Amino acid sequence: MNAMDKEKITTVIEKTGQAYMSDEGKYNQDCLIPMLQALQQVLGFLPQEAVEALNRATGIPVSRIYGVISFYEQFKLEPDGKYKITVCRGTACHVHGGEKIIDTIREILDIDEGGKTADNLFSFDTVPCLGACALAPVVVINKTYHGKMNTQKTRKRIEQIRSGENRSDD
């Protein structure tokens, strides 16, 4: 973790924590989840340094912080792969073949939802709705939305990324 990341952690804790600070300058325990969300948004995951900084600032025990992180699926202790593939499992996508796309990704990458390939190139997740139902089924690779997807297009896109060809989703 570099100095810039450490600075980001301090800034996020101070900024997010303002709303949870008592007149005596102590953090209310309700600050934990919003602070974890804010830290993950900025850092992409929750490194040990962020947990320790949170513990120092708030006095909330490290074991409790890790307990909350492991309880909620939204929190991650490791960074995503270079290409984060998110597939919608909402109703519109489901009826247009979203499940087959999910199975294809599992098969090609040999990982399950929430997983990451050993070379750190891909991570894979599903979400309830990507808010683009008219384009169903939808796959997002990093920040690029791919609508009207099917298994062949998904397979091709993954192969292109693997081969270093057409990395427009970078």
Residue ranges binding ligand FES (CB under 6 A)? 88, 90-93, 129-133, 136, 138
Supply the minimum distance, in Å, between the C-beta of residue 136 and ligand FES: 5
Please say which residue, 51 or 149, places its beta carbon nearer to ligand FES. 149
Q: How far is CA 110 from CA 22, 113, 116, 118, 165, in A?
A: 49, 10, 9, 10, 21
Please say which residue, 46 or 93, places its beta carbon nearer to ligand FES. 93
Question: Cβ neighbours of residue 42 under 8 Å, at least 6 residues apart?
Answer: 8, 12
| Helices marked H in 27-168 | 32-43, 48-58, 62-71, 91-95, 98-109, 151-163
Supply the minimum distance, in Å, between the C-beta of residue 88 and ligand FES: 3
Supply the minimum distance, in Å, between the C-beta of residue 129 and ligand FES: 4
Please say which residue, 94 or 106, places its beta carbon nearer to ligand FES. 94
What gap in Å lies between CA 21 and CA 66, rounded to an integer? 22
Question: Cβ neighbours of residue 71 under 8 Å, at least 6 residues apart?
Answer: none
Supply the minimum distance, in Å, between the C-beta of residue 37 and ligand FES: 22
What gap in Å lies between CA 44 and CA 161, rounded to an integer? 21
Taking CB atoms, the residue at the shortest distance from ligand FES is 90
Which amino acid, 79?
Answer: P
Supply the minimum distance, in Å, between the C-beta of residue 109 and ligand FES: 20
What gap in Å lies between CA 13 and CA 34, rounded to an integer? 10
Please say which residue, 54 or 149, places its beta carbon nearer to ligand FES. 149
Please say which residue, 57 or 129, places its beta carbon nearer to ligand FES. 129
